[in-house]
Amino acid sequence: MLEPQVAVVAELCSPVVDTSVADVRFVAVRVAVHPRDHEAAVAAACGVQSVFVDDAFFDQCVGHGLGVGDMNSDGHRDILIAHGWWQNPGDLTSTKTWAFHPVRVKTDNGETPLPSCANIYADDLDSDGDKDLFFSSAHAFGVWWAENTGEGAWTMHEIDKSYSQTHAMETVDVNGDGQLDYVTGSRFFAHNGGDPGEHDPVRMYWYEVVREKGKAPKITPHQITVGLGTGVGTQFEIHDMNGDKKPDIVLSNKKGVNVLLQK
């Protein structure tokens, strides 16, 4: 049995702590602040004129929609949200400001932030040297990628809108072709029947991505039929569970705990 290096245990459990393990400490690095501290700065970052930002609007800015990726290829991982990305200053022990870079996409209603999303991944999908975004939807229909056009608003590309509540998404090379693919599916009854499509069949898909320099990515959806009726929940894991060098899917949600083995 492997001994844990770090254990977080509630006091009610009265744990016996092995003090011989390595001392692992975490230091908080503040990236963004609540609008009560810097309302004007948050308003500017979110693209509004008013210097007053209430709690509900702040939740919209930094609530659903989160990812980590090196957006500017400087070797440092940045933080992605639906309204843009916070640039890692490099030295996290310094007091340097994390610069915010707004992202707006073209829609029929003008330029807007990303639609209400869940996981966000930075990925040079069209192999043109800059990072695009691949993302899913927390409580509505949709899986998309947003094309970084270099200047101005980004271009949205709808990948799949046949099912809703793709609340969690993971990236992995599913078929062993050396390119990262994406796995997602429905979250069953996220708001107990209140979300669009909550009464639809629960589905799971993996999206095969083929990238070629100078071309739009070829994205092919593959239904994971063994996942019908299971869905992904708020999060899931992908690991080789049986040692056959193929990624498997580990699920824990309202449908129970399941492992989907790839054959």
Q: To the nearest whole percent, how much of the chain has pLDDT over 70?
A: 72
Per-range mean pLDDT, top range of 133-142, 192-201, 207-216: 207-216
Task: Report the predicted TM-score, pTM, of the whole model to 2 decimal places.
Answer: 0.77
Percent of residues, the chain, with pLDDT higher than 90: 41
What whole-number distance in Å separates Cα of residue 211 and Cα of residue 126? Answer: 6
**Helix ranges (DSSP H) in the chain:** 35-45, 55-62
The type of residue at 79 is I
CA pair distance 221, 136, nearest whole angstrom: 14
Euclidean distance between the first and the last CA atom of the chain, given in angstroms as a whole number: 28
195 closest CA partner among 119, 235, 142: 142
Cα 32 from chain centre: 18
171-194 pLDDT, tens digit per residue, is 999 999 999 999 998 876 666 776
pLDDT tens digit sequence for 102-139? 999 999 889 988 888 889 999 999 999 999 999 998 77
> What are 144's strand-pairing partners?
135, 158
Q: Which of 53-57, 147-151, 251-255 has the highest mean pLDDT?
A: 147-151
Asked if pLDDT for residue 58 goes beyond 80, the answer is no
